[in-house]
Amino acid sequence: MTSFVITVPGTFVSDVADSVPLAVERKLAPRHTEFSENEGLQLLTLNEDATFSIRLEVEAPDKYEAELDAMRIVTAALKDAGLSESDAPLGPPAVTGIDSGL
């Protein structure tokens, strides 16, 4: 297995309470591990134009599985924070880091 840092972009299409980003970060905190922290990556970046980026670490056999897993995890975290897919549509995930342990 390989550790991938996946970045998932999104947009809040309506105003969200201040508690929503905190709830998302709490849910995803276990996915922000030593590898991604050492790279200086923030788990959640909020922009003034209502866009956001989530960076999380995923263990997977390949890039494709890592991206799929990241999308499932981010979607679940947003749902747990009270947002539907239409409240915070996500863009395509991208691999932004790889640690194969070599």
Hey, what are 40's tokens?
A: 């200086």
Give residue-wise pLDDT tens across range 25-66. Answer: 888 887 766 665 666 668 899 999 999 999 999 999 999 999
Give residue-wise pLDDT tens across range 41-50. Answer: 688 999 999 9
- Of 11-20, 73-82, 84-93, the range with the lowest mean pLDDT is 11-20
Domain containing 94 equals: 2-99
CB of 1 within 8 A of CB of 35?
no
CB of 58 within 8 A of CB of 70?
yes
Whole-model pTM? 0.87
Q: How many domains does the chain have?
A: 1
Residues 12-27 have a mean pLDDT of 87
pLDDT confidence band for 13 (50 / 70 / 90) = very high
Residue recorded with tokens 């996946």: 6
User: What CATH number does the domain containing 46 carry?
Assistant: 3.30.70.3190
What local confidence, expressed as pLDDT, does residue 93 receive? 97
Average pLDDT, the chain: 88
